[in-house]
Structure 1
Amino acid sequence: MKQMLLGAVIALTAGAASAQDAVTYTTTENFEDVTFGLESAIVGRGLVIDSVSHVGDMLERTRADVGSDVVLFEDAKVFSFCSAALSRKVMEADPMNIVFCPYGIFVAKQPGSDEVTIGFRQFPEGPMQEVQTLLDEIAREAIGE
């Protein structure tokens, strides 16, 4: 019983993420230039963007419905994509690495800020560090670093 309880606590806390679990970069480039740079960096590597989530639009559209008057973002999008070769490699190392696929990079601009933030979640040590390196290269390329 004690082991089951400990396992449940670990399972519940393992899914919790925070901002400190993200790698972020800021730039004074405009939002559209950063998103174009991101798209170009992804496609330029022969990868396909699976989807673009318009998180900023959704939060603004539903703001009043959830009883909030806080504008969180001027604009915010999450780009989801995968690499067949890299995904196969990390999942052959551990099939449960499926939890990290597809990979996502966000671009966000907060109201009143002159900066745009681009970033992605950190990945665990081991095979997933190769994915983290790829995302880091893509994010940096998107902002001209």
Structure 2
Amino acid sequence: MKYFTAVAAFSISATLMVPASAQDMVSYRSGLAYDDVTFGLENAITNHGLVVDHVSHVGEMLERTRSAVGSDVVLFQQADVYSFCSAKLSRQVMEANPMNITFCPYDIFVAQRPGEEAVTIGFRAFPEGEMQIIQTLLDEIVQEAIEE
């Protein structure tokens, strides 16, 4: 597995890329408030000329169904997944390989664990090759979302 690591300067709003445990991903931790991160994310997506197609309220769903599935574990204080696409870049990567359709739409998650002030924002890592253009786009959007 390929993991991404980098250490930022120490501050309350420092960001840190951390390795994934379930699958390869790129993520950053931010000291910004959850609402500030989601607001920044929405603006960053729009600033890149893109439109949010859907917001999945994963945290709310997991909390709402927690007792129905027999669990007492609260996974997230808040967690959402933002889905969007780029017609230009999607066409580019799918012209290179039509099966890159499997990666569309592109998702960025924002999550906050119970009792933690830090907010994690990130996305699935993409394979080497033509999909790296999408990974670069998502990384730019995420970093813009959490810059102060």
2: CA distance between counterparts of 1:79 and 1:18? 21
Q: Tell me the residue number matched to 1:83.
A: 86
Q: Tell me the residue number matched to 1:142.
A: 145
Q: Tell me the residue number matched to 1:62.
A: 65
Structure 1 residue 96 corresponds to structure 2 residue 72: no
Q: Greater CA radius of gyration, 1 or 2?
A: 1
Name the count of aligned residue pairs: 129
Gaps of at least 5 residues in structure 1 are: 1-16
1: CA distance between counterparts of 2:23 and 2:124? 9
Q: Secondary structure at the match of 1:42?
A: helix
Q: Secondary structure at the match of 2:110?
A: strand
1: CA distance between counterparts of 2:130 and 2:22? 22
Shift of 1:114: 1.3
The aligned runs of 1:102-113 (5 Å cut-off) are: 102-113=105-116
2: CA distance between counterparts of 1:42 and 1:21? 22
Q: Which runs of 4+ in 1 moved over 2 A?
A: 17-20
Shift of 1:45: 1.1
Shift of 1:19: 3.4
Shift of 1:18: 4.9
Structure 1 residue 31 corresponds to structure 2 residue 27: no
Q: Secondary structure at the match of 1:51?
A: strand
2: CA distance between counterparts of 1:78 and 1:23? 14
TM-score by length of 1: 0.86
Q: Secondary structure at the match of 2:68?
A: coil
- For each residue in 1:28-49, what CA deviation from the matched residue of structure 2 results, as whole angstroms up to 9, or x when unmatched? 1000000000000001111010
More helix per residue: 1
RMSD: 1.2
Q: Secondary structure at the match of 1:70?
A: coil
Structure 1 residue 53 corresponds to structure 2 residue 39: no
2: CA distance between counterparts of 1:19 and 1:110? 17
1: CA distance between counterparts of 2:61 and 2:82? 15
Q: Secondary structure at the match of 2:147?
A: coil
